[in-house]
Amino acid sequence: MNSSGGLSGKTLGWIGTGVMGFSMASHLLKAGYPLVVYTRTASKASSLLEQGARWVDTPAELASQSEIIFTMVGYPQDVEEVYFGKKGIFSSLKRNSILVDMTTTQPSLSIRIAESALNKGAHAVDAPVSGGDIGARNATLSIMAGGEKDIVDSLLPLFQLLGKNIVYQGGPGSGQHAKMCNQIVIAGTMIGVCESLLYAKKSGLNPETLLGAIRQGAAGCWTLENLAPRILKGDYTPGFYVEHFVKDMGIALEEAARMGIQLPGLEKVQQLYLRLQEMGHGKSGTQALILALESLSEEG
Amino acid sequence: MNSSGGLSGKTLGWIGTGVMGFSMASHLLKAGYPLVVYTRTASKASSLLEQGARWVDTPAELASQSEIIFTMVGYPQDVEEVYFGKKGIFSSLKRNSILVDMTTTQPSLSIRIAESALNKGAHAVDAPVSGGDIGARNATLSIMAGGEKDIVDSLLPLFQLLGKNIVYQGGPGSGQHAKMCNQIVIAGTMIGVCESLLYAKKSGLNPETLLGAIRQGAAGCWTLENLAPRILKGDYTPGFYVEHFVKDMGIALEEAARMGIQLPGLEKVQQLYLRLQEMGHGKSGTQALILALESLSEEG
């Protein structure tokens, strides 16, 4: 079954088998790599174990048995715990291991992981993704990678099992920065599309007819193409969770403040998403933003 | 030379020969229609006159000699003057004439023009466009039309000389509302792209590499594709003027207030563009928004 380059036969470790992590780990397993798995909620790994993955009880144990370790967890504090916790990866990391954090997290945390790895004679790469659960399932994720270039290059055979558009962005943390740039654009397209649809409805336009008129021009965007039709159907099922987007925007705003720049548009969008979260929509899809706008307008 | 449908031989009137109006009027003239022209700055019409258009001294005179009258002027107050002024169109409008205002203006003004037209036994259509000077030159404009459906249909042979995506939106003012929806989306994509590029530069990413990584995914949009590369070159030449965009956003916000909805994202973008205008960039292209963000950040 196996596989490209100098990675043949390497044992891989995978931590975090949520909706995305589960699909991604499956791809590696199906390609024939020996896979060791740890995740907080063990039941979420059971199907991987049936496919041949081996369970371990802690990140430390996983690190002692793997050569390349992937992490795909939820929040920066989860990353922190998994790497630096008492039974974390760094407590038993082997020399020459490669750590690949695919969680979207702080660039500064990625840098700290990279430094700690070097101190232990290992290497770390930050490689957050975009493309959501569908991209994870279909192995069409975009991967934005930061770290040592030759290490990132050596991982390409694995990344290519997970995604299509794999771009090296620079040193440690650069993958995270690139992901922030991605999210900042999305925040803009999302507020534009949601405000536009709210205006369309209130002004008595037929929103479907409107979409037909504007999607091919300068207003054209992925969000208009893919999420506007869902909004018009009142479909707020998550492609990407509101609460994860709130996390990402929070990181971007923290970093912006640290770099001495202001992102007033992103701040405004973040405020609206916090409102949406307070309205109980943390687990809705990001397109639910229109509900925050509607509630704001009702309030007057 | 002429031409489709029941419009053959009709005399057309054209008011407003700025960058876009000039190109649009040329297309009609080249298709063989007799064309009467008026514009505030006569010299801007000279090339049309050489091509066979006939000059008149006032909108009133133009109205008395034309069956279908197009207007493409700058601001709502110009539209007001051209239609309702002392020597305006309505002072000498013929029965059964058709008025086509292609200026982006207030929906309420379009409705008033339509009512006044009906009172005189004539008809009016609002048909603002998107696609800028390039779209006007290449006859690839998107046209968003409001008014009586059969009248809009009857104009299709002429609209097809000017644009490609011609969509009927509903009664009087609907074309303007659709244009507002278009501009609201663009305001969002523009702030997203500009804030993202500012973040990219400050964080030490290579912005070109970043674009390659994010353009094909959920951040993909016309603005990222077409304007981001110009921003990275420091090219702020206008595809669309800042001052016209400020006008459009002002109309959208006025209408939103009238309809009782809030558009906080658009408000924020409008504030930034007003700042940009104060910085002397009224005649720059809309992508110059990044300069307002930079100046805001420098201010701290």
In the numeric block, which tokens belong to residue B54? Answer: 């006939």
- Which structural domain, as residue segments, surrounds residue A91? 5-171
Check A264 against B218: CB less than 8 A apart: no
Query: In a 3-state reduction of DSSP, which class is residue A111?
Result: helix
Nearest to B22 by CA among B6, B2, B37: B37
C-beta separation of A116 from A90 below 8 A: yes
The residue-averaged pLDDT of A191-212 equals 97
Separation CA B206–CA B209 (nearest Å): 5
Give residue B3's pLDDT band: very low, low, confident or very high (50, 70, 90).
Answer: very low
From A117, A137, A171, give the residue that closes a domain. A171
Count CB pairs under 8 A between chains A and B: 271
| % residues pLDDT > 90 (chain B) | 93
- Please give, rounded to a whole number of angstroms, the shortest distance from the CA of A158 to a CA of chain B: 18
From A102, A136, A171, give the residue that closes a domain. A171
Check B195 against A263: CB less than 8 A apart: yes
> In terms of domains, do A183 and A165 share one?
no
pLDDT digits (tens, 9 = 90+) for A215-252: 989 999 999 999 999 999 999 999 899 999 999 999 99
> In terms of domains, do B44 and B157 share one?
yes
> In terms of domains, do A196 and A126 share one?
no
| Side chain identity at residue B24, one-letter code | M
> In terms of domains, do A146 and A204 share one?
no
- What is the CATH classification number for the domain harbouring B205? 1.10.1040.10
pLDDT digits (tens, 9 = 90+) for B131-183: 888 899 999 999 999 999 999 999 999 999 999 999 999 999 999 999 999 99
Contacts of A278 (CB under 8 A, 6+ apart): none
- Please give, rounded to a whole number of angstroms, the shortest distance from the CA of B261 to a CA of chain A: 5
pLDDT digits (tens, 9 = 90+) for B257-282: 999 999 999 999 999 999 999 999 99
Q: So which residues of A are the catalytic ones?
A: 179
Task: Name the helix (H) or strand (E) containing B104.
Answer: none
Separation CA B151–CA B34 (nearest Å): 20
In the numeric block, which tokens belong to residue A176? Answer: 């995270």
What's residue A9's pLDDT? 83
> In terms of domains, do A118 and A260 share one?
no
> In terms of domains, do B165 and B207 share one?
no
> In terms of domains, do A11 and A139 share one?
yes
What's residue A277's pLDDT? 98
Separation CA B167–CA B175 (nearest Å): 9
From B151, B171, B191, give the residue that closes a domain. B171
Check A272 against B266: CB less than 8 A apart: no
Is residue B179 part of the annotated active site? The answer reads yes
> In terms of domains, do B193 and B138 share one?
no
Check A264 against B132: CB less than 8 A apart: no
Average pLDDT, chain B: 95
> In terms of domains, do B14 and B112 share one?
yes
What's residue B5's pLDDT? 56
The number of folded domains in chain A is: 2
Contacts A180 to B, Cβ<8 Å: 199, 203
Residue of A nearest to B227 (CA): A218
What's residue A1's pLDDT? 40
